[in-house]
Amino acid sequence: HFDHSVAGYLHKKTADSTKWQLRWFVLYQNLLFYYDSESCNRPSGVLLLEGCYCERLIASGTGSKNKDLADNKYCFAISYRRENQRQYELKASTESDCKMWIE
């Protein structure tokens, strides 16, 4: 790998938004690479962070969704200003990790 400013495991929501997958993420300049695991040499994907914004996702709802809310405590999204561009939902395991990735 290369020298990077931020790296770590995050959960990424699948394209059809049905489940979370654990991926190794590496932020390098304005590129966010993600890998199946830390030991993989080839990224599964890469996001160009130019022209996008990152925001914390606030869980909402009540009742039987409470477990989902707890699971989604440290979620954030990377969104693009262009229309029809996919939003990437990511989830950290701790509050401090979540803040680190957003900043």
In a domain, 1, yes or no: no
In a domain, 73, yes or no: yes
Instruction: Assess whether pLDDT exceeds 80 at residue 51.
Output: yes
Residue 70: pLDDT band with limits 50, 70, 90: low
Helices (H) and strands (E) in the chain, counts: 2, 7
Report pLDDT for 43: 96
Query: Rounded mean pLDDT of 82-103?
Result: 90
Query: In terms of residue numbers, what domain contains 77?
Result: 6-102
Instruction: Assess whether pLDDT exceeds 70 at residue 3.
Output: no
In a domain, 59, yes or no: yes
In a domain, 43, yes or no: yes
Report pLDDT for 20: 93
Instruction: Assess whether pLDDT exceeds 70 at residue 25.
Output: yes
Number of domains within the chain: 1
In a domain, 61, yes or no: yes
Rounded to two decimals, what is the model's pTM? 0.81
SS3 65: helix
**What mean pLDDT is reported for the chain?**
85
CATH number at residue 61: 2.30.29.30
In a domain, 67, yes or no: yes
Contact (CB, 8 A) for 74 and 92: yes
Report pLDDT for 65: 46
Residue type, position 75, single letter: C
In a domain, 63, yes or no: yes
In a domain, 19, yes or no: yes
